[in-house]
Structure 1
């Protein structure tokens, strides 16, 4: 137990030492490294948040996303309600709404600004019962799943016709795929710049302390012992860079909300932006810190191995 407490105390002391020396020395270089890390994390995270909000916003739009099923004219309302309930119980369907032939006639007459009697007179209502479906996200994201669902519905003996706007689903999926691809490409490019910046930063810090490292090697210090402060340096840079990234990303996301809502209003919707939740934010901090520690370890080990005491 005492050895564990001593180990923790030594590491806490080393972390504090790194902050006071390696981070504060060459403060301009430290700020540059933090800025590169923040930029690397900010741009992909902004794209990710925009993509998530886009998916949530389009899920509220019903125009074009509906699958409309027209039943045969001889189907009565009891069978129509049973068909609607069966479809509603399918996991691939988010919601199902039955529009009876009477409701359809009322809606048509209301849109014309006349009464139902003026529309039909004494004739029988020719409109069929219709069921309007909104598919689940899994079906929306896959054309194959959508086609399979439509095919199964068409095989129902009570179904006369199924209408689905496939172009809508293609547009939504293509936009989402494009945003995902752009995010991945930008993240890869920025990640590469981050790695080079960290390597350069850690290598310069090793050179600044070359004399100290030579003395430590002369008195028997192992390479792992010498490398440890530079790993903590990567930890501090990753943590501080992620914090700055979260701060910048929050400002950018919520400052653009008003402008993007002008576009959303043209499509009859309103966007309420959601930032990163606690789990996503925690994951970003962990990934940033661990990645910077790993790169710092590799860079410091390579540089320190090249130092030979004279």
Structure 2
């Protein structure tokens, strides 16, 4: 397979995508050239041609640094996802796939793991009797190689270029409160109105001083002095259910209490951060049949049950072939 379909009626060579990914990973044209065994001139020309074909700038360049643009960062996520699928297909075609067996170690955020990873894990264990899975649910960042973990599910863009990535979905920041609190204190009409309300903040160190932001560093933010600061999302949502105030969390974390009527979405039409849900793993893990069947099962789950119901998950998992 020589080309990948990226735009209607337009083909881009897969090697071009691999060059772009290398520049994104290395944050350097020279570093990417060294990694790929190409000349810096070839790498620079390849990226310029890709940008011209796409009609967007993928990198911000200065004399000292190379950084992905917003469009470049999103394109990198999708390219990695597509290349993973292609490499996986090649491995299977060559006979790399065997029956899953042995131990697969997985780490995931606590609530996400309980709601979305554990059901996949239990189903895989029913299907594959020789497979054993160790599932570590923690909200701290686990160092995969140092701690002997095969893969991690994280809700944020990867900052570690040494790890391979597969995007499986997206989640969104939301604000929630109980009906009792809204009846007592009223409902905010704008994002800035939140600063006048009783707020519940999830803060790793529970310092009591923070800010809430709609998106990245260039998006609107408000300084807050929360009535309650906790280091657990579960605790924050419990306090919100008890009527203490308004909590900020991610869409999947609030889905169950909202569905049951314990909480209500606040400012539902306000545009907030959309974060990728990704599977990270060391490069050597790509050939693991255990990893491949887990990634496939997670992908199938979110094709059936998108994390963002109003988003088309097919865009998140789009296959570029």
| Band the TM-score falls in, shorter-chain normalisation | under 0.3
TM-score by length of 2: 0.24
Question: Larger relative contact order (C-alpha < 8 A, sep ≥ 6)?
Answer: 1
Rg larger in structure: 1
